[in-house]
Structure 1
């Protein structure tokens, strides 16, 4: 690290990559030192917009830059494994987009590779730093809902891919779909807050085009305690985008609606919006920097990414509607 500033290279300049680029720009302790993307037009536009001088169309060349301390891997999921393995071999700290990989086997290879090093390996799970989820979790821990009875996750999209995310791979059956792209956030959060998911049973619906991802899912998952988690997903439907994540208990209900709206009710009462207090003040960028410097940090590493991948792949690949034990 030159002058105690961490230099990071971004590999993949799509919508999510640019969104995080704007967060990197707000940091004093980390600087974006290089860009890599196979789209040369996009690469040059982004380099000019953000005044980045080192640009590459081959990730190996970016990883080879000695001054770069860390890489942010923001390419489609099926390319994560090869890039992460190369970065780990080169001694670069890694921030990886979710999902961790495009299969359990790939995720296992990546986890094994980084565990053999002293490198920081972090996942981009921004929901954990969001005040609404932090307050949701606090209410659970305070006993607001009593004993947990059920968890429901609803994901309804009038358009998939969403209008701001029109990429072919996001629409593809191979590595896209909202079960992967959106479901992964909530699966990771469920396992962190409520414990491991141990069983999965799912039914998927697909469009006629065999290259396109799911347009419907009905699934049930079970925690180690036997508590059920129900998933209701639909895309390309009438209406507005709607997402609900709810925990139902013996004494009440708490729900996150559309990511940031927090609602709650005691049993027998109507749901009402709850005020969201300021969160714990942590964010991914600061925590990633602290982890690289060897300080205590709140980062979600490849272990949590691998645990989520096990569930994702069971959801994506049903076994004749039978339960799959994880």
Structure 2
């Protein structure tokens, strides 16, 4: 006879709000985890919701409030466009559910802070979907910095180049809009997270953005800026879209004794003295980012250890993004609110 202690834990019941390209991608990771049951899905497009729900055996909803009121859920993944994060997340938290939210956390710093306070007050697990968090390539790069082999950090550079924006797989029109989208808002959080957790807080920002003259609703086509860190060193950010070049997402840190960086998002490279940049062997277990995130979420929901980027991280990133946008609008240096 099986004892109660030997009985398997019940599955973590997950609801997903927002079934666009990003939501569908992580939904697959949830569905593939043996200890997760995708119980409910929600999207304003009823046909998309029905099509997604049927093979999962999940209930289908077009109103997230009705879903939260009727479905038995442990965790809710909010994968809607950024302008809806705040309102929907507060509904999820009011219902007492653990929450995973897409990045950026919100449209404004005040909204992000509201979400952080509500999550802490609810006493639930709260996490931001940052696929580079815990990536073994990022962790290898971080160790290069922390070991001190670079010497004194003098400057860092972030380069973002996209041959087209939105990218071919991004079918949501808002990603190309000025109100919610653009490469700085969409891609910036990934590398800002790496910078903040590796080099320390950003204290002030100077930024300039270029927009299409014939479309006031379109997002930036180019941007240039400087992030000043707490130790006085700076990060130069260069962003360019719609140019006949391969996509490039890279970070380079120059020190007095060497150079370390990330190419192709998360592949670590390093050079010592005047030698060339060379690939650095990646340490630690690999695996898809979605699988890593879902595993950590399941552990945390069950009260076990799990490495997540929480809403506090989201607020710190949001503070830099807001300072960037204000600086671009004002043409001056802008201080970053410290969370």
SS of residue in 2 equivalent to 1:116: helix
Q: Is the 8 A contact 1:35 1:52 kept in 2?
A: no
When residues 72 and 128 of structure 1 are mapped into structure 2, their CA distance, relative to the original with a 3 A threshold, is same
2:232 pairs, out of 226, 245, 255, with: 226
Q: Which runs of 5+ in 2 are unaligned?
A: 1-7
When residues 260 and 189 of structure 1 are mapped into structure 2, their CA distance, relative to the original with a 3 A threshold, is closer
Q: Tell whether 2:190 aligns with 1:185.
A: yes
1:62-120 superposed Cα distances (whole Å, 9 cap, x missing partner): 11134111100000000001111011111110000000001112111111211212111
Alignment of 1:1-326 (within 5 A): 4-48=10-54, 50-208=55-213, 209-279=215-285, 283-318=292-327, 319-326=329-336
Aligned residues: 324
Mapped partners of 2:30, 2:149: distance in 1: 37
User: What is the Cα deviation at residue 279 of structure 1?
Assistant: 3.4
SS of residue in 2 equivalent to 1:10: strand
When residues 279 and 253 of structure 1 are mapped into structure 2, their CA distance, relative to the original with a 3 A threshold, is farther
SS of residue in 2 equivalent to 1:284: helix
User: What is the Cα deviation at residue 3 of structure 1?
Assistant: 5.0
When residues 299 and 267 of structure 1 are mapped into structure 2, their CA distance, relative to the original with a 3 A threshold, is same
Q: Is the 8 A contact 1:179 1:316 kept in 2?
A: no
1:47-74 superposed Cα distances (whole Å, 9 cap, x missing partner): 23x4233000111111113411110000
1:243-298 superposed Cα distances (whole Å, 9 cap, x missing partner): 11111111111111111332211121111122223337792111111211222221
Q: Is the 8 A contact 1:145 1:248 kept in 2?
A: yes
Worse-matched range after superposition: 304-313 or 56-65 = 56-65
SS of residue in 1 equivalent to 2:312: helix
What is the alpha-carbon root mean square deviation over aligned residues? 1.6
| TM-score (norm. length: structure 1) | 0.95
Mapped partners of 1:85, 1:118: distance in 2: 13
User: What is the Cα deviation at residue 234 of structure 1?
Assistant: 0.6
Mapped partners of 2:285, 2:252: distance in 1: 20
User: What is the Cα deviation at residue 26 of structure 1?
Assistant: 2.3
When residues 205 and 325 of structure 1 are mapped into structure 2, their CA distance, relative to the original with a 3 A threshold, is same
| TM-score (norm. length: structure 2) | 0.92
SS of residue in 1 equivalent to 2:284: coil
Q: Is the 8 A contact 1:134 1:279 kept in 2?
A: no
Q: Which runs of 5+ in 1 are unaligned?
A: none
SS of residue in 2 equivalent to 1:115: helix
